[in-house]
Structure 1
Amino acid sequence: MSAAAILQSGRPDECLVQGDYPLTRRDLAEIAGMIYSDAGIALNETKASLVYSRLSKRLRQIGLNSFRDYCALVGSAAGADERREMLSFLTTNFTRFFRENHHFEHLRTEVLPGLLSRAQAGGRVRIWSSACSDGQEPYSIALTVLSMAPNVANYDFKILATDIDPKIIALAKAGVYDAQAIETVDAGMRKKWFSQTPENRWQVSDQVKQLITFKELNLMAQWPFRGQFDVIFCRNVVIYFDEATQAKIWVRYADLLPPGGHLYIGHSERLSGEGKNRFDNTGITTYRHKGRV
């Protein structure tokens, strides 16, 4: 449902969520329009309670009295910084180490042997974690690579990790996690590639970090890449896009992969549109690029 459709589905001044700061249909439509324009995320009326719960705290923090005032702020040039804050509040960053582990098993057994052989022969290898959240996905990729080739830093083998939220990128770069977060990390990996901090948290080692470059990137913007990637992870992010945006993103990924390159997507996601014809399914939400069709 577009912002216009939200408005057309009822009275603009109808209150969708009661509370300290009532959220009207018009407010939701304006917020949805900005989030869609900035990040491709499609919000509809079913997300009204989520929008309220995440942004009402922000209104209180910055001393505003209504969502009307907040919409006016984030819609203005003077509110550009707060508009980025709004995006941070409304994006979901749930992740964990080795989430959907079948992808990492496939990477380890079917993909990395060939890529590591190429790297050891002097070739270039690139992997992209395109919605990396707080870093647990790209660190899981790096740990999988290091478990097979501890000296991989000697080769031209790099992992790019990107996310739209600069705050979450800062957390990813820091690479510090609580004990619950690393429960899904193998004990041997934990002992070898993590260290405990004085606060009883877990710090990713510099040897792991050096394989990864973290960058802020909006998937809806231009992608400043000069070459192709051998593997792309895009998991549990396009579910927040509408069908048209999903179809475009699959094509863009296909354009960045060589024939034989691999794409991993989320368990609730499916390829669609023209991009669907550019891949062969090789496992659970696992795809191999078959080249131009």
Structure 2
Amino acid sequence: MTETEFDFLRGYLKQRSGLALTAEKRYLVESRLSPVCRRFNLAGLTELIGCLRLARDGAIERAVVEAMTTNETFFFRDRTPFDLFRDVLLPGALAARAGQRRLRIWCAAASTGQEPYSLAMLLAEAAPRLAGWRVEIVATDLSTEVLEKAKLGLYNQFEVQRGLPVQLMLKHFTQVGEQWRIAEPLRQMIDFRPLNLLQPFEQLGTFDIVYCRNVLIYFDTATKADVLRRISDQLAPDGAVLLGAAETVIGITESLMPDPEHRGLYRHAKAGASPSAGMPATPTAAAAVASLRWAVR
């Protein structure tokens, strides 16, 4: 692959997925795109790049972008964002949304589904407190391939052992041969949709909680700022955003502000990002909803 070809791929991938490749990532491009060449019976990267330049084969174009997308994920990854959901965000939502009894959650860059399914398990554990509520989890990803796996909810032994407590595995999964399938009610809780974060997503509607973790690290600053601004536009005024451990809004956007009490949690700038702003962090509404019926999308 020549420098000119590599530069073309860098620009192509940035335009299509936001991925900002540095010069030292050339080896990564070659290792990930070589299988794509074999899959489509192409002689090598030069022929592959020629196909991309002609823009005549959507299947090849999608395969290239998906091959370069990092889909690393596992159940309850980094744990803290899920503890925050269970201990802070969900109790706060019960209080703030007690009148309308509706909660909308968006998992952006959901990959093979472990993140939204982890949230679904936490919601199932809190079912008595959510009786009568309408809870929606929208999970999106650029890759249609990983979304198909996510919809199946079928994972191998290694995948269910990564971060998933044994008691939750036994409670919410059924063994199918050498794999494990998550329970149908949890699969039905999640609406998996293909979505490129570089494209408009106003059609998704407004969300109370947004998980956009470990994807911004692959974007340049301008792209990060644009995505975060548009996420804030879809966020309820008292809503919350959770980013990955290596991600921040500081120095990138003023539309979101760090929550002073919880690392990795960000509030709408309009809410002031104070401990009292937005959804309250105390479980004061638990008793009020305990006798209602559980209703999930």
* 1:79-228 equivalent positions in 2, closer than 5 A: 79-116=57-94, 121-149=99-127, 152=130, 155-183=133-161, 184-197=163-176, 199-225=177-203, 227-228=205-206
Render the CA deviation track for 1:67-107: whole Å, top value 9, x for unaligned. 22111102223222201010111101000000010111111
Letter in 1 for 2:145: K
Q: Do the aligned partners of 2:108 and 2:211 also contact (CA within 8 Å) in 1?
A: yes
Gaps of 5+ in 1: 1-22
Change (3 A) 1:81 1:64: same
Gaps of 5+ in 2: 273-297
In structure 2, what is the Cα distance between the partners aligned to 1:116 and 1:207? 21
After TM superposition, which residue ranges in structure 1, 4 or more long, deviate above 3 angstroms?
116-122, 150-154
Q: Counterpart in 2 of 1:252?
A: 230
TM norm structure 1:
0.86
Is 1:264–2:242 an aligned residue pair? yes
Letter in 2 for 1:285: G
Shift of 1:274: 6.1
Q: Do the aligned partners of 1:128 and 1:232 also contact (CA within 8 Å) in 2?
A: yes
Identity %: 33
Render the CA deviation track for 1:121-157: whole Å, top value 9, x for unaligned. 5422100001100000000111111111168585311
Q: Do the aligned partners of 2:255 and 2:268 also contact (CA within 8 Å) in 1?
A: no
Letter in 2 for 1:169: L
Q: Counterpart in 1 of 2:294?
A: none
Shift of 1:249: 1.3
Q: Do the aligned partners of 1:260 and 1:290 also contact (CA within 8 Å) in 2?
A: no
Is 1:238–2:227 an aligned residue pair? no
More displaced 10-residue stretch of structure 1: 125-134 or 219-228? 219-228
* 1:4-43 equivalent positions in 2, closer than 5 A: 23-43=1-21
TM norm structure 2:
0.85
| 1:57 paired residue among 6, 11, 35 | 35
In structure 2, what is the Cα distance between the partners aligned to 1:154 and 1:203? 27
Q: Counterpart in 1 of 2:279?
A: none
Shift of 1:284: 2.0
Shift of 1:251: 1.1
Shift of 1:256: 1.5
Q: Count the aligned residue pairs.
A: 270
